[in-house]
Amino acid sequence: MPEALTAIIILILGTAFLKIFLILSILRYGLGLKDSGFGIVIAALSIVISLLMISPYLPLDKFLSGETISYQTLKTLLTPYIERADVVQAESQLRALLQSQAKVATAQGVVADFDPFIMKLTAYVITEIKAASEIGLKLLIPFILIDLLVAHILALINITTLSAYLVSLPLKLLLFLSVDGWGLIVSKLVTIARNMG
């Protein structure tokens, strides 16, 4: 695999990008913006916020200038960032899985040698996905309540020709914008990343 591609994959997995992207994607579905071209905005915002979070650990000027960063250098630079996360539980689960696979590999006559950085990276990704799912669920609750309320009101007044989606979308956007939803979410994501560890 080319070194540049490896670096990009590790940057996606080893930074807060995955967590931020998942949280914002869940928010996007909660708001009802799943059919629009809003995915690019979510990806761009995720990249910008994750670059902001990783900037103390990674020389972004070197990476963004097009210079090639080796796997070893990236591994050295990202290890302190990954180790800030609480990956102990995920790492122990992963270690048990890898030990069982090592037994299978040994039974087949293959030597199983696992890179400790890849193990930590995998544990970090599992932890980030779990945290993103928990945060995303908390974000979905008010939007689900609005959907249920609109559907119930439309059923009570016997309007079956009007889609509940068409009525709830403006209400959800109004609620989100009235509480400065973007500002709150971005500041919360940055705070979570700064307090990680």
Q: Which domain holds residue 173?
A: 3-194
pLDDT digits 0-9 by tens, 8-59: 777 788 778 888 999 999 998 888 887 667 888 888 888 888 877 777 767 6
**185 and 24 in contact (C-beta within 8 Å)?**
yes
**How many degrees, rounded to 5, is the angle at CA 149 between CA 180 and CA 173?**
25
Rg for the chain, CA atoms, rounded: 21
- pLDDT band per the 50, 70, 90 thresholds, residue 191: confident
Average pLDDT over residues 149-176: 87
Please state, in angstroms and rounded to a whole number, the distance separating the CA atoms of residues 117 and 137: 30
Amino acid at 88: V
- pTM, two decimal places: 0.79
Counting the structural domains of the chain, the total is 1
Q: What are phi and psi of 55, to 5 degrees?
A: -55, -35
* pLDDT at residue 146 is higher than 50: yes
Angle of helix 71-83 relative to helix 3-14, nearest 10 degrees, comes to 0
pLDDT digits 0-9 by tens, 76-135: 777 777 777 766 667 777 777 777 777 777 777 766 677 777 777 888 888 888 888 999
Neighbours of 129 (CB within 10 A): 14
**31 and 173 in contact (C-beta within 8 Å)?**
yes
Please state, in angstroms and rounded to a whole number, the distance separating the CA atoms of residues 121 and 127: 10
Amino acid at 56: P
- Positive or negative, the CA dihedral 132, 133, 139, 143 is positive
